[in-house]
Structure 1
Amino acid sequence: MSVDATFEDGAAKPLRLVAMDADDLQVLSALCQDAVFPASEMQWQRRQRRFGILLNRFRWEDIPVADRGRRTPERVQCVFAIENVVRVASQGVTPGDVDTILSVLAVTFEEDDAGGGAVLLTLAGDGAIRLQVDELEVALRDVTKPYAAVSGKVPDHPE
């Protein structure tokens, strides 16, 4: 016996995604574009070899291009975690600074010959965070319900 789909089946659910290669990471990068966070929301757990950020992610997946400007833009808090981290370097970023708000432009992976490489978070304003990893494993997990974007606007990137 088959069961019809219900309205609830189409309801938005929290994202929970993992990237294990550069192609997967492109998907996470698109979802994290324009995410904002205070510099104080980054943490490197050296012993666990994990680097995490609590992001306020713009919900690009919720606003199709045709509907932009007609729906209330939303954000959601998510944990962005990179595993297998052996070294962290940054430029234009003061870790722990609660007053500095950073904005993610892109997340990329530069593979090395040994199967590892570097995860690069490119930030607005010439900031960057480089995470040297033994192997690529990045997770994105929404941890709150969506909320109306404070600005009330969809981020814009003029050409």
Structure 2
Amino acid sequence: MSVDASFEDGAERPLNLGALDTDDLKVISALVQDAVFPVTEMKYDRKARRFALLINRFRWEDKGAGRHAPERVQAVLAFDTVLGVATQGVSREDKDMVLSLLTVEWEAGEAPAGKLVLTLAGDGAIRLECEALDVTLKDVTRPYKAPSRKAPHHDG
């Protein structure tokens, strides 16, 4: 019998998490909140049915934040079983565009199919038509000091 990982299990180690249900997805969504990525770091491999982002995520799970400046880490956020991708408010032609990820949510369809909706700051969104919910988050670099030296903050 396996035991689900908790938010605290990330501690100071690189994350490598998967989500196959909405409870798991909530954890990943919380960990990627306020991640930023250039529009050039989005890739859809239609043949492999995989959509992936190379993101710079804020390390919300960092227990050492009181000992050092806030940190970010590069991570791959991958979505499998993707049948199609649609975007709103995202221009692939603007190579300098940097997007900020707010949430990742699942909209169930005829089981096990559904849509993953990635909500972006500034009214942007990415919608992934999926056969099933299958998401992976994997840190791929060592943490680095957040350029702003601050944790993201949301008014309201």
Q: TM-score, normalised to structure 1's length? A: 0.87
Q: Does 2:60 correspond to 1:60?
A: yes
C-alpha deviation, 1:138, in angstroms: 0.2
Q: Does 2:97 correspond to 1:100?
A: yes
C-alpha deviation, 1:12, in angstroms: 1.4
1:15 counterpart letter in structure 2: L
Distance 1:150 1:111, change over 3 A: same
RMSD value, Cα? 1.8
Alpha-carbon separation, structure 2, partners of 1:77 and 1:125 = 22
What is residue 88 of structure 2 aligned with on the other side?
91
Of residues 127, 139, 151, the one that matches 1:154 is: 151
Alpha-carbon separation, structure 1, partners of 2:12 and 2:101 = 23
Question: Which digits, 9 at most, give the CA deviation of each residue in 1:66-93, with x for residues without a partner?
Answer: x4xx740100000000000001000001
Number of aligned positions between the proteins: 147
C-alpha deviation, 1:64, in angstroms: 7.9
1:36 counterpart letter in structure 2: V
Of residues 59, 69, 75, the one that matches 1:72 is: 69
C-alpha deviation, 1:113, in angstroms: 1.9
Matched position secondary structure for 1:29: helix
Q: Identity over the aligned pairs, expressed in percent?
A: 55
C-alpha deviation, 1:114, in angstroms: 3.0
What is residue 21 of structure 2 aligned with on the other side?
21
Within-5 A mapping of 1:131-146: 131-146=128-143
Q: Does 2:127 correspond to 1:130?
A: yes
What is residue 4 of structure 1 aligned with on the other side?
none
Q: Is the 8 A contact 1:86 1:134 kept in 2?
A: yes
2:87 counterpart letter in structure 1: S
Alpha-carbon separation, structure 2, partners of 1:148 and 1:31 = 17
What is residue 6 of structure 1 aligned with on the other side?
none
Task: Give unmatched runs, 5+ long, in structure 1.
Answer: 1-9
What is residue 116 of structure 1 aligned with on the other side?
113
What is residue 38 of structure 1 aligned with on the other side?
38
Question: Which digits, 9 at most, give the CA deviation of each residue in 1:21-51, with x for residues without a partner?
Answer: 1111000000000000000000000000000
Distance 1:29 1:11, change over 3 A: closer
After superposing on structure 2, the runs of 4+ consecutive aligned residues of structure 1 that deviate more than 6 Å are none
Distance 1:129 1:12, change over 3 A: same
Alpha-carbon separation, structure 2, partners of 1:143 and 1:59 = 13
Matched position secondary structure for 1:27: helix
Distance 1:134 1:11, change over 3 A: closer
